[in-house]
Amino acid sequence: MTKEKETYRIMISGGGTGGHIYPAIAIANAWAERYPESEILFVGAEGKMEMQKVPEAGYAIEGLPVAGLQRRFTWQNLSFPFKLWDSVNKAKKLIKRFKPHAVVGVGGFASGPLLYVAQKRGVPTLIQEQNSFAGLTNKLLAKKADAFCVAYEGMDKFFPVDKIHFTGNPVRKDILHLDDKKEQAIDHFGLDADRQVILVLGGSLGARTINNAVVASMKHFEKQGYQVLWQTGRFYFEEMTVKLEEAGLAYVQAREFIREMDLAYAAADVVISRAGALSVSELSLVAKPVIFIPSPNVAEDHQTKNALACVNNDAAVLLKDEDAVEHLVDSIDQLMADTELRDRLGKNIKKMGKPDAALEIVKKLEALIK
């Protein structure tokens, strides 16, 4: 990417989950690589994970007191109008002080106040929507936004068609080149080079259903000659470690969190995963056969819609959360026994990948400013 000498001030807002934060950081990295003299300021929600993850990535962040509106009545909802008012006022002060050339919203309630104020003041705004079903905040901001960068077709249901750009979701760069990492991955994780590898991912915190499905299936997996690399997530690591020790299995290893995701993907023959937007985008670039088990506990059932976008392109297998414990074994056995099916799913999901998404979003942002 060519580095330019111009300096710009860019604000990026949103967060609450890794699915919002990591694309935001990827956009910032791509902008900083192109315009290293620029100033970039993140705006998040106080107490949320972006307040830790963004500084770890090397960027400044300001927190707003905004909190999400619960979909059922709770006492927390009574404070929502006051927190929103305070957040809008702080957003006004931040924009007045920072004087951004453009503001990027990546979704999550944290982006609402900042983009609302930016739009009121005529600052160009770009919305990056990760999911196949637009989030509430992005839908509310859609009328006055200048551009929408999306990862799925059919987003004209939510946004003006003439402002939509099909860029894909930004992802980490280290997963783009896996072909020569298989041997390194086997060695790094202490795997058996002669056994097929099932990679299990439930997010950094973990997914109860996926973990229970692995517990119910792991003796069968080992008996069939498979091995399992299993990210349990922080919430479930101790519990799952105990269950694994009780089972006494040699070819199933549980890890609280896997940092070397490029190596994990390189080792995998089949992946079991939730269907968050970022996970789907990464797995599209990894080009491995995937069994998606969408979480039923997310707004607007986003994950099922994300998974169906792949299934409808013959690019993945969908296993409902309610069926996972009972039927995961069947889904894995079918994939492992059918080389042609695995190859077809891997090739088809790769067609959906957008390896240059961050750069494409930067180009759209440039166009808004210039």
Please tell me the predicted confidence (pLDDT) of residue 79: 57
> What is the phi-psi region of residue 197: left when phi exceeds 0, alpha when psi lies from -120 to 50, beta otherwise?
beta
Residues 320 and 207 in one domain: yes
Q: How confident is the model at residue 186 (pLDDT cuts 50, 70, 90)?
A: very high
**Residue ranges of the binding site for UDP-N-acetyl-alpha-D-glucosamine:** 17-19, 131, 172, 204, 258, 277-282, 303
pLDDT for the residue numbered 28: 97
**Is residue 2, in this structure, part of any structural domain at all?**
no
Residues 241, 230 contacting (CB under 8 angstroms): no
Contact 137, 165 (CB under 8 A): no
Q: What is the pLDDT of residue 352?
A: 94
126 and 251 in a single domain? The answer is no
Tell me the pLDDT tens digit for each residue of 271-289. Answer: 999 999 899 999 999 999 9
Is 1 part of any domain?
A: no
Task: List the domain range (segments joined by +) for residue 185.
Answer: 174-351
| DSSP designation for 299 | G
In order, the DSSP letters of 160-208 are -GGGEEE------GGGS--TT-HHHHHHHHT--TTSEEEEEE--SS--H
pLDDT at 72 over 60: no
Tell me, yes or no, whether 188 and 336 share the same domain.
Answer: yes
CB atoms within 10 A of CB 297: 11
* Contact by Cβ (8 Å): 198, 257: no
Which pLDDT score, from 0 to 100, does residue 78 have? 58
**pLDDT tens across 74-96, in order?**
555 555 576 788 999 999 999 99
Q: How confident is the model at residue 180 (pLDDT cuts 50, 70, 90)?
A: very high
Strand partners, 249: none
Determine the Cα–Cα distance for residues 253 and 234; give it in Å rounded to an integer: 15
**Do 93 and 182 fall into the same domain?**
no
- Place 297 in a pLDDT band, splitting at 50, 70 and 90: confident
pLDDT confidence bin for 16, thresholds 50/70/90? confident
- The helix/strand/coil state of 366 is helix
Residue 3 counted as domain residue: no
- CATH code for the domain of 185: 3.40.50.2000
Residue 46 has pLDDT above 70, yes or no: yes
CA distance 39 to 215: 48
281 and 207 in a common domain? yes
Looking at the structure of the chain, the number of domains it has is 2
The answer on 194 and 151 residing in a single domain is no
Q: CA-CA-CA-CA torsion for 72, 119, 26, 45, nearest 10 degrees?
A: -40
pLDDT digits (tens, 9 = 90+) for 141-157: 999 999 999 999 899 99
Residue 163 lies in a domain: yes
Cα–Cα distance, 333 to 307 (Å, whole number):
20
Give dist(CA 227, CA 229) in Å, integer. 7
Count of alpha carbons within 13 Å of 146, Cβ hemisphere only? Answer: 20
Residue 167 banded pLDDT, cuts 50, 70, 90: very high
Section 336-358 average pLDDT: 96
pTM for the model stands at 0.86
Domain assignment present for 4? no
Are residues 223 and 149 part of one domain?
no
Region 302-306 average pLDDT: 91
Does residue 150 sit in helix, strand or coil?
strand
Domain presence at residue 286: yes
What is the rounded distance in angstroms from the CA atom of residue 370 to the CA atom of residue 62? 26
274 lies in the same domain as 220: yes
Q: Which residues are annotated as a binding site?
A: 17-19, 131, 172, 204, 258, 277-282, 303
Residues 6+ apart with CB under 8 A from 15: 21, 24, 44, 45, 48, 49, 50, 54, 106, 108, 110, 111
Q: Does a structural domain hold residue 181?
A: yes
Report the length, in residues, of the chain.
Answer: 370
Same domain, 162 and 217: no
Q: pLDDT: is 72 or 67 the higher one?
A: 67
Identify whether residues 186 and 79 lie together within a single domain: no
Has residue 130 got a pLDDT over 70?
yes
Give the confidence band of 367 by pLDDT, cuts at 50, 70, 90.
very high
CA distances from 206 to 25, 202, 216, 236, 255 (A): 22, 5, 16, 6, 11
Shared domain for 271 and 152, answered yes or no, is: no
pLDDT band at 172 (very low <50, low <70, confident <90, very high): confident
Q: Has residue 282 been placed in a domain?
A: yes
pLDDT reading at 115 higher than 80: yes
Residues 31 and 162 in one domain: yes
Residue 1 has pLDDT above 70, yes or no: no
Indicate the SS3 state at residue 104: strand
- Average pLDDT for 116-129: 97
CA angle 113, 118, 122 (to 5 degrees): 155
pLDDT in tens, 234-264: 899 999 999 999 999 999 999 999 989 999 9
Q: What is the CA radius of gyration of the chain?
A: 21
